[in-house]
Structures are given as C-alpha cells and as structure tokens.
Amino acid sequence: MKLKIALFSGLLGLAYGLSNADPVMVLDDSLGLSQVSVFAVPTPAVFEYRTLDPKESGVLPRYWEDAPPQVPHRIDKFLPVNAKSNKCLECHEEPDKIGKKVKGKPTPMSETHYVKSAADEFTVSNKRYVCTLCHAPQAEVGTLMENTFRGDTAAK
C-alpha cells in the first residue's frame, strides 16, 4: 500500500511540475537557416558558378562511389538542354571509350547512361538525357549548415 501511495504522489508531482514548467523561449530569428526574423525577406547571397572551360577545369572529388560526379566546368555556354539541343552529349557521348578516361578530355558517360540494343549498339537513355537533373554545376558558397558526412570511397 505504501508503494502505491508513493507512486501516486510521484505522478501528481510530475503532473504539477509539467503544468508549471517555464515556457521555452524560441526567438523568431532562430527558426530558419537564414537566421533572420521569419517576417524578413532576406536577399540571398550572390554567387557565381565556376567559369572554367572544360579543358582547364580538371575534375572534382566524388563523395561516395556511384555519386553523380559534380560538373567541374562552366555550363552556361552549353545550356539549355532540350529536345533539339544537348551540347553535353557532343562531348560526353562516347560509347567506344566508356571507362577510358583521359585527363583534360571529356569523361565518357558510363554504360548506365545508355540502352543497349540486341546488336550491342548504345543509344543514350531517355532517363539520362537531361544531364543537369543529376550533375550539378558548382560554386563557392558559404556553408549553411555544418555537415560532417564523408563518403569513405571519395575522389577517384
């Protein structure tokens, strides 16, 4: 019986404590990533994409195996990618050279970017036609949130 009473009064104490807990203060400028009031309309920081031409860009590290490689060079001259034009393919579609990368030359797209006919002919897969869906151009920008993620299989 003693135990029951102790338990009951413990619960009562807990309920009382909760109902009287100090309200937690959350300031409106600590809610979003931009760290300004939620009522403000902050101007995004200005940044520029890389302006290096392909032959001088080199390549960027890959963060994990099978991650789509980041685009190391400028792409403004090669856009838009649409049904009539795909400049990316003019350089990267080289089915005869798959897996044979030469420094300073366009990396041939891997086999995953093609469909193979019965006669072993490669055609670019429609699913991989719009390159920039997966391959992002890069820019120097500040870090919004620190992130400690590291793929172990980095940089090829």
The smaller minimum CB distance to ligand HEC, of residues 28 and 65, is found at 65
Per CB under 6 A, 7 contacts ligand HEC: no
Per CB under 6 A, 54 contacts ligand HEC: yes
Question: ω before 69 within 30° of 0 (cis)?
Answer: no
| Only segment of 8-16, 32-40, 42-50, 133-141 that touches ligand HEC (CB under 6 A) | 133-141
DSSP code per residue over 34-75: T-S-TT--PPPPP--B----HHHH--PPPSSTTPPPPB-S--
Per CB under 6 A, 134 contacts ligand HEC: yes
Per CB under 6 A, 123 contacts ligand HEC: no
Per CB under 6 A, 106 contacts ligand HEC: yes
Per CB under 6 A, 107 contacts ligand HEC: yes
SS3 31: coil
Taking the CA atoms of the chain, what radius of gyration do you get in angstroms? 27
